[in-house]
Structure formats: structure tokens, C-alpha cells
Chains A and B, each alone.
Chain A
Amino acid sequence: MYKALADAIKDAEREKKTLAQTALEAESRDQGRPIEEIRAALKRALDVMRGAIEKGLTGDLYSASGLVGGDAAKLRQNPKGPLAQTPFRDILTRALAVQEVNAAMGVIVAAPTAGGAGVLPAILTGLAKARSVPDDKVVDGLATAGLIGAVVAERASLSGAEGGCQAETGAAAGMAAGAATEMLGGTPSQVGHAVALTMQGTLGLVCDPLGGLVELPCVFRNATGSAIALAGIEMALAGITFAIPVDEVIDVMGEIGREMDVRYRETAGGGLAATPTGRRLAKERLYQIKRSDG
């Protein structure tokens, strides 16, 4: 797989291909698997993503601790709010739905991780619905997202324990923004700018879940991460460029992650987890989990 998005963009533009095609061909070469087989695996992932959204929207799901749940349905039903009846609202709802399923130990696609699993399905399926994009184009979107994620994994990190939330929901937002930009007709170069414009907005984001549970704020960070991705898509498709090259934005995300204090890397030692209420809730709820296990 590519180690720099700039290389993939250059190859795609020279060969007049999409980044999705470029990524699928690279994967096929690397793994010795036919492209159709890879697409079939991505289609299965898409089906699981849609299943999780459906379950999260209709189901009455609560996490083991009870800290999160039921909010996707609440958002979906609210008649008020400036985003009512827009794809934007629908995407936020979908992001919450997937994360509520995840927190309840339901089946999801970690894309790139479970903690950030709501953003990509929310953006891709939400925009696909709004713009009647056929499934094979959404599968292409997953391939483009995979390429972006692979470059982030190579150059920085996809782990909250290593790089904070910028490496999880931040990377997810970058992947989703790039994938959707291409899905909606953007050029490979616009995809690069969409990723950069999105990830600049999540740099420095800490991973500070209460009690170390992938619940709070993770569920909501997937919704706000989706909002940032939508901003990135909107700007990139308008032809707005970001002066710092995308690979350098990814590199600096890795650098910030490495220098981030361990309290802000999924250890529940800092951030929201360490607020007085955060500590109290975590203590109460962890006790509850232990009791229900025993």
C-alpha cells in the first residue's frame, strides 16, 4: 500500500484513475488477491455498517455502564434544530447510532478503529442516501478511505493509546472526508485537500474517555468528527486548498501524538475523564459493571 497520499494522488492523476481504483490495484498487488474479492469484502463491511446504523436507530441500546445510549433516536426524532431534515442531521444521527451499538458490545466495522467507527459509515451512507449514490460507488469510497487510513497508520498512528483521539475520530474524519469527496465527484487532488482540511481541525484532540470506556465522550466525538469531515468535504469540493500538504498534516498528527502526555492517551488520567464529575461517574459505573459481571 502507499506510504504517502501524494504518491497515490500522482499515480491516479497520471493514469486518469480514481484513488479508489488506484488503492484497489495496490491492494491486489500487495495481497495477491483479485480486485473483485477485495471489493466483495468491502461490500460485506458496508452491509455490517448499514446493519449497525439500523440497529442503533431503531434499537433500545444502552452500554454496559448505562453512560450512553438512546441519543441517536432522540436526535432523529427532534423536530427542531437548525439542521432538521438535512443530510447533515441524518449523518450526525447515523454516527451516534453506530457508536451506541459499539458501546453495547454489538457488531460493528472498526474503520479505522471501533472508537471511531461511526464517522465513515455515517458520512458515506448518509451522503449516498441524500445523493442516490449506487452501492458500487460507496464501496469505492471504502477503498479510498482504506488508502487514507493505511497512510495514516504508516506515517502516524490509528491508536488512541498512542496518538490520542486525533488518531481515532480524527483519522476517521479524514478518511471519510477524502472518500466522500471522491464519491461526490472530487478529483484525487481535492481528496488530498479534503483530508488535510479535515484533519487540521482535529489536531491535538485528546483521548479522555471516562473510566477508559469507549463511551463518553467517544459516542459524541463521532458526531462532532462527522461535522468536521462535512466541513472538509464542502470546502474541498469548492476548490479550496490547504497550504500544508496532506502527508505533512498526517506526520504532524503523529508527532503531536507522540508528545502527548500519557494522561491524554486513553488512560483515563486526564481530560474529561479526570474532571470531578468524570471521576465520580466512572467510579460508580465501573462498580456497576463489575457487579453485573459477577
Chain B
Amino acid sequence: MVSLLDIIGPVMVGPSSSHTAGACRLGLLARGLIGGTPQSGVLQLHGSFARTGEGHGTDKALVGGLLGFRPDDERLRDALMIAEREGLDYKFEKTTIADAAHPNTVRISVELNGNKATMLGSSLGAGRILVQEIDGYPVEVTGNLHTIVLVAEDRKGSIARITGILASHDINIATLRLTRKERGGDAFMVIECDEEPDKAAGAELRALDWVRWTRRLDKVSGG
């Protein structure tokens, strides 16, 4: 759903909402997947990101996002320099991801202390973004709300248990999407929350022995 404040906004450092602000938000989401500034990042640029990214500061914005800078942070201008200082080893590659991929698409692979994540996302224009894939699972994450992604064994009652934990931490679920690659295989859940999930809620989810992996993605867009 499009919000007025997505259209009249974001307040951002120029020059391009799709190539600078949107790219920064994609970087921020990738950072959220591993819970901090990565030690290494590979950024595969597709389409217009690959062809005109440099002139738009897409490289600076993506890396700035990985560093935790938001789209209106004037440090974005110097993000590549700051990355070197902070020990973020980044590499850009130009690639063609798929014929159907949105023109402003990037695949980001990040690692922090052996903790790895890969994300495929696009910048849709006006700073709006859409993450289409996390670790090979198809998802739809807009960054408009706090989001929990979770991989669990496909077993009965798992949703009830997870929603129960979130409710006990006073977190209201806005949307919940469940996918799996095959029956009995891993189930992949994307849960958008109205409130920011606290650390304790995350720890409780992780403690479930049938939950293989869970990550919290920050709200990076919207008012």
C-alpha cells in the first residue's frame, strides 16, 4: 500500500531517490539481516544500478546503508571512505540477474563473524524498495514495518507458537506470510509487526529448537 509520506518524501541526500535513497535502504536491510556492520559485502548490481550507479552515488548509498546510515545522513557522501576506516571490505560486481528483474536491482551478500546472509532487492522509485529474496527464499519485504524473517521446520502448531510469543511481548502482527520449498521442508515466515520486536522476543524465538534461523529487519521507510 502506497503511503502519502512515501510520495512526499523521503527527506534525503541527493541526487536520486531510486539510486541513492532506495539503495541506502536496501543496504540498511541487508545490515539488519546480520545485525550489524558486515565485515565483508559483495554487491552485485543489475540493470540501471550497474549502468548508471556510480554517477548517482549508488555505490556510496549501498555501502552507507551497510554502515547503518539512513537516507538523509550527509555522511553518505563519504561512505566509501568511512567503510575502509570501519573495516568493511566491500566489492561491487556488475551482473545480469534475470531478464524479468526490475532495472534497479542488487544482490547483496554480507558476512559478520561467520554469520552470512544474501538478499535480492529492488528500488522501485521514489525511495520505495522491495526485497524479493532472502537466502534463496522468495519474500516480499518493503521495509515499511519492522519485520521478522524466520526459517523453521515445517511442523504443526508452529505459527500458533510464534504468534503466541510475539503477543506475549506485546507485539502486534500486521502481516504474516508463510512459504516453503516443499512439504516437510523448511518453512519460511515473513512477519511484519506494528511494534519494534525487542531482543527478548528474538531470543525466545531463536530458543525454539525447531527454529533454524531468525532475523529481524528494521523499519527503513515510511513516516
Give B46-64 interface residues, CB cut-off 8 Å to A.
47-48, 51-57
- Tell me the smallest distance from the CB of B210 to a CB of chain A, in Å: 33
Contact of A267 among B4, B5, B52 (CB under 8 A): B52
Interface residues contributed by chain A, number (CB under 8 Å): 67
* Docked complex Cα distance between A244 and B11 (Å): 34
| Residues of the A chain whose Cβ atoms lie less than 8 Å from the Cβ of B19 | 214
A249 close to B (CB within 8 Å): no
Check: A266 CB closer than 8 A to any chain B CB. Answer: yes
Q: Mark each residue of chain B from 5 to 18: 1 if its CB lies under 8 Å from any CB of chain A, else 0.
A: 11111111111111
Which of B10, B13, B48 lies in contact with A105, CB distance below 8 A? B13
Closest B-chain residue to A37, C-beta based? Answer: B223
Distance in Å: Cβ of A195 to nearest Cβ of chain B? 14
Alpha-carbon distance A274/B111, docked complex (angstroms): 40
Please determine whether A212 and B51 come into contact, CB atoms closer than 8 angstroms.
Answer: yes
Question: How far does the alpha carbon of A273 sit from the alpha carbon of B9 in the complex, in Å?
Answer: 28
Assuming the contacts A159-B125, A162-B103, asked whether A150 and B55 have C-beta atoms less than 8 A apart, the reply is no
**Which of A153, A209, A267, A286 contacts B2 (CB under 8 A)?**
A153
The answer on a CB contact under 8 Å between A27 and B4 is yes
Q: Does B198 sit at the interface, judged by CB under 8 A?
A: no
B162 within 8 A of A: no
Residues on B with C-beta less than 8 A from A246 are none
Report if B3 contacts A (CB, 8 A): yes
Q: Within the complex, what minimum Cβ distance (angstroms) separates A230 from chain B?
A: 20
The 5 A-B residue pairs with the shortest CB-CB distance in the complex, in nearest-first order:
A212-B52, A159-B125, A102-B14, A146-B4, A149-B7
A-B contact pairs, 18 of them (CB 8 A): A1-B4, A37-B223, A42-B4, A44-B11, A102-B15, A106-B14, A109-B11, A111-B7, A113-B126, A145-B8, A150-B6, A153-B128, A157-B125, A159-B104, A212-B48, A214-B56, A266-B48, A268-B52
Further 20 A-B residue pairs, CB within 8 A, beyond A111-B7, A147-B4: A1-B1, A1-B3, A38-B223, A102-B15, A105-B14, A108-B11, A109-B10, A110-B9, A114-B20, A114-B21, A143-B8, A146-B4, A153-B125, A159-B103, A161-B103, A214-B16, A266-B48, A267-B52, A268-B55, A289-B54
